Amino acid sequence: MQSILFVCLGNICRSPIAEGVARRLIEQRGHNIVVDSAGTGNWHVGETPCEHSVAVARNHDVDISQLRARQVKKADFTTFDLIVALDQSNYRDLKALGCQNLVKLGDYGHGGADVPDPYFFDGFEGFENVYTMIESCVKELLNR
């Protein structure tokens, strides 16, 4: 595997965390894998990750503050070896666009569970829980 694209809905919370965690682990392990993230929606294009995502990543020594949201495009399906959807809804949307090289992040150590959108939790704790799940799944993904 030479390249991975993590995809969530808006590319401002879950997928940037996954990208940041993957970058850190890839660097620590000395792998040569290109990593990026994108969203299925276009309403946050050009924005930085949300403040809580930046903070929770920073608390774990991961800097995602320089990332910018972008929308997934069909060319990504051939550019990246693996497209990783953060939940079933994104998985379905990507399949509908014709993506073949697609997996769900929760399939790696979490029995196929969706990585929940932290905006549906009250306060910062939801972001911490999502970070923990993403980190364990990305570790498992990179171990395969």
Choice among 68, 93, 107, 117 that is catalytic: 117
> Is 137 considered catalytic here?
no
The 10s digit of each residue's pLDDT in 46-98 is 999 999 999 999 999 999 999 999 999 999 999 999 999 999 999 999 999 99
Give the whole-angstrom CA distance, residue 115 versus residue 133. Answer: 7
The 10s digit of each residue's pLDDT in 59-71 is 999 999 999 999 9
* Predicted model pTM: 0.96
pLDDT value, residue 124 = 73
Residues in Cβ contact with 127 at an 8 Å cutoff, skipping those fewer than 6 apart: 13, 52, 53, 55, 56, 118, 121
Give the whole-angstrom CA distance, residue 135 versus residue 57. Answer: 10
> Is 8 considered catalytic here?
yes
CATH of the structural domain 3-143, one choice from 3.20.20.70, 3.40.50.170, 3.40.50.720, 3.40.50.2300: 3.40.50.2300
